[in-house]
Every structure is written in structure tokens, then in C-alpha cells.
């Protein structure tokens, strides 16, 4: 009787020890899990063309122009590069590369109303519509905006002089 009890405990111990090691595959840093295998991630600036198999390693391809990856990754597609929309007051500070996204700044007569890291996320005109930029701000002085004279206009507050009305 005691023998059977010890055997049951031993079998339960073996089952409890084997199940987690066969089911839980923990990959090392720089790897990702695919079909029960730990595959190497692709380097920054590249993407997965084909995951690893038991016969071959992960195949990576460089990101296409206009896309990037900043970190080691298991992705099949690179991220699209940001476009700095001049209609919204943006200009490109640094072009996108295969390993970094585009960095936007504000066009002249705009200021950055929301900055994240070195990248401006929202540009706003220095002056309001119906005003023009009389003088740009400096480190010591704020921008001076002046109201347009009768018979002139400024559609968005970014001009350095008002435009004459048209008939």
C-alpha cells in the first residue's frame, strides 16, 4: 500500500515537472515564438521575409523606401514614414531613414503647440486670421501680431503683410 502511494506521488511529480517544460517555450531576448520555435528577430531597418524553420534561420529584408523599423522586431511589414504636411504648418526637420521616422518641425510663422521628444505633433500660426506677423519672436521677445488695415486681409495669421481685398 505504501509502495503504491509513493509511486503515485512520484508520477504526479514527474507529470507536474514535464508539462510546464514541454508546453512553455520561453524565447531569449532578441527572439520571438513561431510555430513552437524561437526565431531570431530582424535588426532595425529590416523586416521578416520568412520566419525560421527547423531547417533555416529567419530571413530578413531591408525596409522599402518610405518605411522604417527602429528596433529589433518580428514584423512582416515596416512602419510607414510620417509626412510633414505643409498645409498644417509642418516642415521636415529630418528625413525618414530605414531605422528612424521623419522628424517634423513648424514652418516659418508657425509655432509648435505640442512637442513629443524632438518631433512637433501640432503647429499653430503665430497670429490669428485677420492679423499679420509684424515681427517674429526671439529668445527675449514675443512675436508681435498686428491687425490688418481696412481693405486688406490675412486668411490664416501666418503672413508678414496683409493682402489687398479683391473685387
Is 29-80's fold the same as 81-125's?
yes
CB atoms under 10 Å from CB of 18, counted, come to 10
pLDDT, residue 145, reads 85
Report angle CA 44, 28, 15 to the nearest 5 degrees. Answer: 150
| HSE of 77, CA atoms in CB hemisphere, 13 A | 4
- Domain positions in the chain are 29-80, 81-125, 131-164
Q: Which residue has the cell 524632438?
A: 118
Domain 29-80 has CATH 3.40.50.1100: no
Task: Tell me which of 3.20.20.70, 2.10.50.10, 2.60.120.650, 2.60.40.10 is the CATH number of domain 81-125.
Answer: 2.10.50.10
Would you write out the chain's pLDDT as a tens digit for each of its 167 residues?
566 565 565 555 555 555 544 445 689 999 999 989 999 999 999 999 999 999 999 999 999 999 999 999 999 999 999 999 999 999 999 999 999 999 999 998 888 989 888 889 999 888 888 888 888 776 667 788 889 998 988 888 878 888 898 87
pTM higher than 0.85 = no
- Indicate the SS3 state at residue 149: coil
Amino acid at each position: 500500500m505504501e509502495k503504491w502511494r509513493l509511486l503515485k506521488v512520484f508520477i504526479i511529480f514527474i507529470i507536474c515537472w514535464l508539462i510546464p517544460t514541454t508546453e512553455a517555450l520561453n524565447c531569449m531576448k532578441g527572439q520571438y515564438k513561431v510555430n513552437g520555435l524561437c526565431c531570431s528577430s530582424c535588426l532595425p531597418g529590416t523586416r521578416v521575409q520568412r520566419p525560421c524553420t527547423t531547417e533555416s534561420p529567419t530571413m530578413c529584408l531591408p525596409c522599402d523606401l518610405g518605411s522604417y523599423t527602429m528596433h529589433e522586431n518580428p514584423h512582416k511589414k515596416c512602419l510607414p514614414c510620417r509626412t510633414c504636411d505643409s498645409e498644417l504648418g509642418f516642415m521636415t526637420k529630418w528625413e525618414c531613414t530605414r531605422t528612424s521616422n521623419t522628424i517634423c518641425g513648424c514652418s516659418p510663422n508657425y509655432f509648435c503647440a505640442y512637442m513629443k521628444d524632438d518631433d512637433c505633433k501640432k503647429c499653430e500660426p503665430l497670429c490669428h486670421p485677420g492679423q499679420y506677423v509684424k515681427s517674429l519672436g526671439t529668445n527675449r521677445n514675443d512675436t508681435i501680431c498686428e491687425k490688418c488695415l481696412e481693405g486688406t486681409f490675412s486668411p490664416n495669421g501666418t503672413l508678414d503683410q496683409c493682402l489687398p481685398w479683391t473685387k
